[in-house]
Structure 1
Amino acid sequence: MNRFLSNATNRIDAKGRVSVPALFRSVLVQRGVQELYCLQDLVFPAISVGGPDLLERYERQIAAADPFSPEANRMSLLVHGGGVFMRLDAEGRLMVTDFIRDFTGIGTDVTFVGRSDHFQLWQPQAFHEAQAAAREGRLSMSRPQ
């Protein structure tokens, strides 16, 4: 498997670290990812985490626009100004920094959410609410009018 699937919630330790789920770590290894690009999600109160290819995907989109356009400038502000590089420690833990906490509202637990080519860090209740809203939205689309 080379995709990030499913979700799992782990507790942050006393030093502010959280263990990345083993399945997610194995995908990172398969993809050869050593440095993680972490981005404040553009829609949800979550941090998107992937390899350098995640950043490159956003940069290709920015490069396709007129570099002086308001849209390219807004995207750069979000992608570059709202992103950082991080690394897992030797035990597969990620430091839950103020950058992550301030944007997501994460307290003592982190929900890891697979998003195919990357994963996200969520405050657990916010994830459950967003998932329920997405499910309800899909259900309402399939109901006869």
Structure 2
Amino acid sequence: MNRFLSNATNRIDAKGRVSVPAPFRSVLAQRDIQELYCLQDLVFPAISVGGPELLERYERQIACVDPFSPEANQMSLLVHGGGVYMRLDSEGRLMVTDFIRSFTGITTEVAFVGRSDHFQLWHPQAFHEAQRIAREGRALTGVRPM
């Protein structure tokens, strides 16, 4: 498996750490991702987590516009000002920092959500609500799962 798929909810321990699900750690290892780029998602109340290529993807988008334009400045503010680097500890846990908590509302549990080339950290109820809304939106447009 070389993609982040599915979702899982894990409890935050007394020291503020959460275990990253084994399938997600496996993808990180397979892709040799040591340092995680974490970004406040541009749409959802979630933290997007991936390797350096996730940051590079956003930087390529920024590079396509005039570097002095409002669009480039706004994107840089979100991508660079709303991002941090993090690492897993030796046991595959991630520290749930104020950066994560304040943006997502996460308190005691974290929903890990696969997004193909990266994964996201969500407050579990917010994830289930966003997923419900997405399903309803697909049903309203007449698009049904295959």
TM-score, normalised to structure 1, is 0.98
What is the CA distance between 1:69 and its match in structure 2? Answer: 0.5
Q: Deviations over 1:76-134 (max 9, x none)?
A: 00000000000000000000000000000000000000000000000000000000000
- Matched to 2:115, the amino acid is R
Q: What is the SS of the residue equivalent to 2:48?
A: strand
Report the equivalent of 2:71.
71
Report the equivalent of 1:101.
101
CA-based RMSD: 0.7
- Structure 2 unaligned spans of 5+: none
Q: Distance in 2 between matches of 1:12 and 1:65?
A: 40
Q: Distance in 2 between matches of 1:32 and 1:125?
A: 31
Q: Deviations over 1:4-28 (max 9, x none)?
A: 0000000000000000000000000
Q: What is the SS of the residue equivalent to 2:120?
A: strand
Report the equivalent of 2:87.
87
Q: What is the SS of the residue equivalent to 1:44?
A: coil
Q: Distance in 1 between matches of 2:9 and 2:135?
A: 20
Correspondence list, 1:115-134, <5 A = 115-134=115-134
Q: Distance in 1 between matches of 2:66 and 2:137?
A: 35
Alignment length (residue pairs): 143
Q: What is the SS of the residue equivalent to 2:44?
A: coil
Identity between Structure 1 and Structure 2 (%): 85
- Structure 1 unaligned spans of 5+: none
Report the equivalent of 2:20.
20
